[in-house]
Chain A
Amino acid sequence: MYKVLKKEKLVPTITKLKIVAPLIAEKTKPGNFIILRVDEKGERVPLTIADYDREEGSITIIFQEVGYSTKKLGKLEVGDCLQDLVGPLGHHIDMEDCKKVVLLGGGTGTALLYPKVKGFYEQGAEVISITGVRTKNLIILEDELNEYSDKLYIATDDGSYGIHGFVTEILKDVLKDEKDIDLVVAIGPVPMMKAVADMTEEYGIETIVSLNAIMVDGTGMCGACRVTVGGETKFTCFDGPSFDAHQVDFEELMNRLNFYQNEEEDVAKANSAEEVN
């Protein structure tokens, strides 16, 4: 079974779990994701694989507790088991031929960015990482990012730590100062990814974004995660989750992400009622 080996609260709402999953650990590459189900009545939730240990046969996920399922996931303790875990899914990021990369992560996006930072660094690229959060106590993975980055910029919206401002403002400077950037990778809220795409387009720098569409099966059988890329419908789970940022219809993606807002609130309410018991 999919047992929790290690648990760590990175910040009050962001949790890191190491889970036994030998088959997945064996195959994972940066950019892949998993789908999990916490319990028998749970929904299927996609999460990026943040790290893996092939020898130990484990994978690590990092998630923000935003709704019913992630809160329930955050309650698991070491020794507890997940109901279902499947992966690695999606295409991994092709990292060869990249000598200099800028990677941006916004909010929890930083957790999803980390495996790519590590991946690029380990294959010898020059890595510039930019991470941004609202305020100081939400910063995650600073040490890890530092270890695998040639340069690391940390920004806070309120200026309580690092640079005062948004990741996009830092990117603006980086794009001005740095030469020969082969690739920009952006992961975070849709408006942030869109802003990055607009910015790099001016410089003609190849940019990829990792999309967080709504998914059900994650294997290409339903199309819940479809997005428009370059005018064509693509399935995020099968064709992605990473796409050319300059081709993605971000507005459509944002609209589709909001579709179940009311239902998510209902489940959250039902959940707090259950907790009373």
Chain B
Amino acid sequence: MALQKKKTPMKEQAPEERIKNFNEVPFGYSDDEAVVEAERCLQCKHQPCVEGCPVHVPIPQFIQAVIDGDVEEAGQILKSKNNLPAVCGRVCPQEEQCENVCVMGIKNEPVAIGRLERYVADYNMERGSDKSSAAELEKMKVPELEGRKAAVIGAGPAGLTAAADLAKYGLDVTIFEALHETGGVLRYGIPEFRLPKKIVDQEVEAIKELGVDIQLNVVVGKSITVDELFAKGYESVFIGVGAGLPRFLNIPGENLNGVYSANEFLTRVNLMKAFKYPEYKTPVVVGDKVAVVGAGNVAMDAARTAKRLGAEDVYIVYRRAEEQMPARSEEIHHAQEEGIEFKLLNNPVAIHGEDGRVARMECQQMKLGEKDDSGRRRPIPIEGSNWMLDLDTVIIAIGQNPNPLLTSNTKDLKTKSWGGIEVNDDQQTSREGVYAGGDVVTGAATVIKAMGAGKTAAENIKNYLLEKSKK
């Protein structure tokens, strides 16, 4: 059989259809499509893809199981390293990770590892065979840790992963989550059309079945402090509270009505289900003309959400150029297909209002100069190039910093100037027994990196507790 050079396509909703609903855009592979794609894997001996994955999923092995027709086994292989495979298969930037180093990708398109992961996870979820096997769990269990208490703060990807692994080691794990739902950014940030919430529910359910207790509506730093957790008998704490503090532009007019942070806009729509308003009681207001400032994944999510809420013209306003946009190429492509207009090399300098509401945004054109610290060419304003964009709504998606609520209320926890928690290679903080990982350490990054950090932290917490009990 001739080698199939390109990835097996994944069917998806047509753009003109999908902008009218919040259903997931890609449909996922059928059994046949999955096997066809799996057979493109060369089963290389040195397996660069595994190194490219932040949690080191044994990729060729699970793909081989798909070829062998044992999707359940493939699922167990995935679960041995990845506690949230249905999520990762959907939202990982594979082009920068596992698929970036796939040998097939040198001359052709890489193997569609993400799509296969998604296929396997969905297949097992539908059949209820997505739980880790008893044999697998037995293998990870550490008798000395059984029944000892570990606390995890934040139920996002980092916290969920750390909690799942700690429970697998035999610890008594409690997650404390500030919001009324689990998932962190998976719940409030990433929209339904990219990550259906029932997928998040099912992944969380599987983690609960490992014995993890999840306490919602608990704001650590306010409802309870880290010191009090230790006093209550928790022997270690993992902090995975993310980077949830939105950055604003600090330009005139930013507090006009109709200006949202992307966090607020997406939280209203995703967590509070404002897209089902008024059945759900949280409102969100978008007009006909919406500008999203920024060009990361959050910006793409916000723009595509605004379109689905009925906005006619949705613009991405970004101060750099196309090749510097930080969003996944797939999401940029989806946004373009859905009619999102890109106003690149434009920087907002003021928002102007009428009767207290956004009416237009003043943008200044930019050109690219020398490379800056981030290795990207620096945007330089062009004098006298200001112009006006008529708008009803502006959504600011220029990044987030760690929320100081927890760090400012925790004694002796060292942080960096921008608010991130300081950790060593073991994910350990300046306080004994306290570990941290995910966006609260790195600043806004990816789901899988947060999971990788959660995994590393769990392993080191295990070692720390074993060491501690020897003393």
Q: Could you tell me which A residues sit within 8 Å of B by CB distance? A: 23-24, 27, 37, 41-44, 68-69, 83-89, 216-217, 219-224, 226-228, 233, 238, 252, 255-256, 258-260, 263-264, 266-267, 270
User: Chain B: which residue is nearest A226 at the CB level?
Assistant: B255
* B246 contact set on A, CB distance < 8 A: 221-223
A41 and B283 form a contact (CB under 8 A): no
Complex formed: what's the CA distance from A14 to B159 in Å?
Answer: 41
B255 and A256 form a contact (CB under 8 A): yes
Known contacts A86-B219, A88-B222; is-contact A223 B282 (Cβ 8 Å): no
* Stretch from B37-45, B69-77, B161-169, B257-265 forming part of the interface with A: B257-265
Complex formed: what's the CA distance from A83 to B356 in Å?
Answer: 35
Instruction: Report B222 CB to chain A, min CB distance, Å.
Output: 6
* B50 contact set on A, CB distance < 8 A: none
Q: B264's contact among A68, A84, A216, A238, by CB below 8 Å, is which?
A: A216
User: Chain A: which residue is nearest B266 at the CB level?
Assistant: A222
A219 and B403 form a contact (CB under 8 A): yes
* A84 contact set on B, CB distance < 8 A: 180, 216-217
Q: B281's contact among A23, A41, A258, by CB below 8 Å, is which?
A: A41
Q: A23's contact among B218, B244, B264, by CB below 8 Å, is which?
A: B218
Give the interface residue-count category, chain B: 35 or more
User: Chain B: which residue is nearest A251 at the CB level?
Assistant: B356
* B245 contact set on A, CB distance < 8 A: 220-221
User: Chain A: which residue is nearest B258 at the CB level?
Assistant: A259
B180 and A86 form a contact (CB under 8 A): yes
Complex formed: what's the CA distance from A216 to B255 in Å?
Answer: 16
* A24 contact set on B, CB distance < 8 A: 223
Q: B255's contact among A23, A43, A221, A228, by CB below 8 Å, is which?
A: A228
Q: A255's contact among B257, B268, B279, by CB below 8 Å, is which?
A: B257
Complex formed: what's the CA distance from A143 to B260 in Å?
Answer: 43
Instruction: Report A202 CB to chain B, min CB distance, Å.
Output: 27
Q: 10 nearest interchain CB pairs?
A: A263-B283, A222-B264, A221-B244, A255-B356, A86-B217, A84-B180, A43-B282, A259-B257, A223-B261, A43-B281
Interface string of B271-298 (1 = CB under 8 A from A): 0110001111111010000000000000
Instruction: Report A207 CB to chain B, min CB distance, Å.
Output: 22
Known contacts A83-B180, A84-B217, A267-B278; is-contact A221 B283 (Cβ 8 Å): no
B222 and A221 form a contact (CB under 8 A): no
* B264 contact set on A, CB distance < 8 A: 216, 222-224
B222 and A222 form a contact (CB under 8 A): no
* A87 contact set on B, CB distance < 8 A: 219, 222-223
Complex formed: what's the CA distance from A139 to B278 in Å?
Answer: 34
B248 and A233 form a contact (CB under 8 A): yes
Helix, strand, loop or mixed for chain A's interface? mixed
* Chain A to chain B contacts (Cβ below 8 Å), 20 pairs: A24-B223, A41-B279, A43-B282, A44-B282, A68-B281, A85-B217, A87-B222, A89-B222, A217-B178, A217-B179, A219-B178, A219-B403, A220-B405, A221-B267, A222-B267, A233-B254, A256-B356, A263-B278, A263-B285, A267-B283
* B180 contact set on A, CB distance < 8 A: 37, 44, 83-84, 86
Q: Does B224 contact A (CB under 8 A)?
A: yes
For the complex with contacts A255-B256, A255-B257, 10 further pairs of A-B residues with Cβ separation under 8 Å are A41-B273, A44-B282, A86-B219, A219-B219, A219-B222, A223-B263, A238-B404, A259-B257, A263-B277, A263-B278
Interface string of B208-219 (1 = CB under 8 A from A): 000000001111
* B250 contact set on A, CB distance < 8 A: 233
* B255 contact set on A, CB distance < 8 A: 226-228, 233, 252, 256
User: Chain B: which residue is nearest A82 at the CB level?
Assistant: B217
Complex formed: what's the CA distance from A86 to B283 in Å?
Answer: 21
User: Which of B180, B250, B263, B356 has the most chain A CB atoms inside 10 A of its CB?
Assistant: B180
User: Chain B: which residue is nearest A264 at the CB level?
Assistant: B283
Instruction: Report A15 CB to chain B, min CB distance, Å.
Output: 19
* A88 contact set on B, CB distance < 8 A: 222-223
Complex formed: what's the CA distance from A41 to B271 in Å?
Answer: 11
* A42 contact set on B, CB distance < 8 A: 281
Complex formed: what's the CA distance from A216 to B334 in Å?
Answer: 29
Instruction: Report A21 CB to chain B, min CB distance, Å.
Output: 9
Known contacts A219-B178, A221-B244, A256-B257; is-contact A267 B281 (Cβ 8 Å): yes
User: Chain B: which residue is nearest A237 at the CB level?
Assistant: B405
Complex formed: what's the CA distance from A163 to B255 in Å?
Answer: 39
B405 and A43 form a contact (CB under 8 A): no
Q: A69's contact among B224, B263, B281, by CB below 8 Å, is which?
A: B281
Q: A217's contact among B256, B257, B267, by CB below 8 Å, is which?
A: B267
User: Chain B: which residue is nearest A215 at the CB level?
Assistant: B264
Complex formed: what's the CA distance from A113 to B248 in Å?
Answer: 33
Complex formed: what's the CA distance from A233 to B282 in Å?
Answer: 24
Instruction: Report A191 CB to chain B, min CB distance, Å.
Output: 16
